[in-house]
Amino acid sequence: LWIVVVGKRKELNVFFNSGKFVGKWRHSQFITWIVIFSIIHISLAISLIMGYGGLIMSGVYIVLFFFISTFLYFLHSSSFIKWNFKYLVVLLSVFLVSTVLCTLVLICLQPFVFLAINGEEKSFNVKVTPNQPIEPFTLTSPPWNCFNPEIISDIQLPQNLTVVMSKGLSTPIYVRGIVSGDIPTTVVNFKMKCSGLVHIHFDHITFKSCSSKPTETACLSNKCGWCGTTQTCGYCEDGGEFCTHDGAEGCGSL
């Protein structure tokens, strides 16, 4: 701050004596602010684009910035072309605005991170049997630059099921627990929240308690399969194995 005050002492003297500030935007000042802006931009990209995508995009940005700046400097200093400096400012500003918009899009889409459930990037079904532990399943561990990670669900998990997440970023996240009673078929959407700002979505998880449904109506309304021969309800995801005689109603062609 005091270096700036000393450097602008003449302009400040005129300002305090006459109430007017007369200044000139020098080329060096423009270049300095461009560099400062670029450093801030790169820092935000690395922090908010999850995974190694931030590093990749920052590297691309630095290379493009170097080549474009060199090319514009050549246009400005060439004795044959001699572009006005303001044209260079406009073109470089367009480049910077474009890269910022691109960064914002990447922050929203997060294309470099793929969150999986039990190692698969698709929807997942969990069989729930009352008073028995569910088979624990894992969610992808947070990316290396995901600070203060949180797992958030759009609705509350079925009774007594919890998300277990340790402090280490490389440790898988588990969902486990024991459901004490019958539950309706419940679809839960999970997302990971990083740095208090960035949201990355998992696919949805369906919790089903088919074996505890006593009637055909309750069974079919919960998207399970009903075996008319044995009068039992089961999971269509098993391929209808619980009903080997006439096939299970509600599971389609098995």
pLDDT above 70 covers what percent of the chain? 83
Contacts of 33 (CB under 8 A, 6+ apart): none
What's this model's pTM, rounded to 2 decimal places? 0.76
Q: Report residue 129 as tokens.
A: 């049997």
The yes-or-no verdict on residue 253 having pLDDT over 50 is no
Instruction: Delimit the domains of the chain by residue range.
Output: 21-109, 113-209, 210-253
Read off the pLDDT of residues 137-150 as tens digits, 9 standing for 90 and up: 999 889 999 988 99
Distance, in Å, from the CA atom of 254 to the CA atom of 244, rounded to the nearest integer, reads 10
pLDDT above 90 covers what percent of the chain? 41
The yes-or-no verdict on residue 181 having pLDDT over 70 is yes
Order of strands across the sheet that contains 186-194: 124-127, 198-208, 186-194, 150-153
Degrees, nearest 5: CA angle 246-250-253: 60
How many helices (H) and strands (E) in the chain? 6, 9
Query: Mean of the pLDDT values across residues 40-50?
Result: 94
Across the chain, what does the average pLDDT equal?
Answer: 84
Note whether 19 and 11 are within 8 A (CB). Answer: no
pLDDT score recorded for residue 203 = 86
Q: How confident is the model at residue 245 (pLDDT cuts 50, 70, 90)?
A: low
Read off the pLDDT of residues 225-241 as tens digits, 9 standing for 90 and up: 888 888 889 888 766 56
| CATH number of this structure's domain 113-209, picked from the four choices 3.40.50.300, 3.90.25.10, 3.90.79.10, 2.60.40.10 | 2.60.40.10
